[in-house]
A = this chain, B = another copy of it.
Amino acid sequence: MKPQQQSHALAYCGAARDILTIIGAKWSVLVVSLLEERAKRFSELKREIGDVTQKSLTTVLRELEKDGIIERVVTPIVPPRVDYSLTPLGRSLLVPIKSLRIWAMENHPAIVQSRSRYAEKEAA
């Protein structure tokens, strides 16, 4: 979106989209949520998430690091040790994430139901 085409009511749009790009990334909310408990290693995150590829996990961790949401600490030993933890900024992100999670829990059934209604409607 070109800024000059936005209406006054949409001034927040750039920032909002930017944030949505972050938390909309496939594994970011899960990673942030897992790091709420404590700092964790790469392999630990991978194990806990289950079916995420190294590449995808690396990508999302790097992105969150760039954005200042997590911190990456490398201990140069062999085998290498890398710890990830939430920054204060990352910790503050837990607030809107929680709000979203609550909405998700409450309304997910309704969405699933709506989808199946739509599916059988278009099957007819």
Point out residues on A near B: beta carbons under 8 Å: 1-2, 5-7, 9-10, 12-26, 29-30, 33-34, 37, 48-52, 65-69, 89, 92-93, 95-96, 99-105, 107-108, 110-111, 113-115, 117-118
Contacts and interface: CB of A to CB of B under 8 A. Distances in A.
Number of copies: 2
A93 B103 contact: yes
B89 A110 contact: yes
A96 B105 contact: no
Contact of A29 (B20, B67, B102): B20
B107 A89 contact: yes
Contacts of A68: 110-111, 113-115, 117
Nearest to A94: B103
A118 B68 CA distance: 9
Given A20-B29, A89-B111, A114-B67, A104 B15 contact: yes
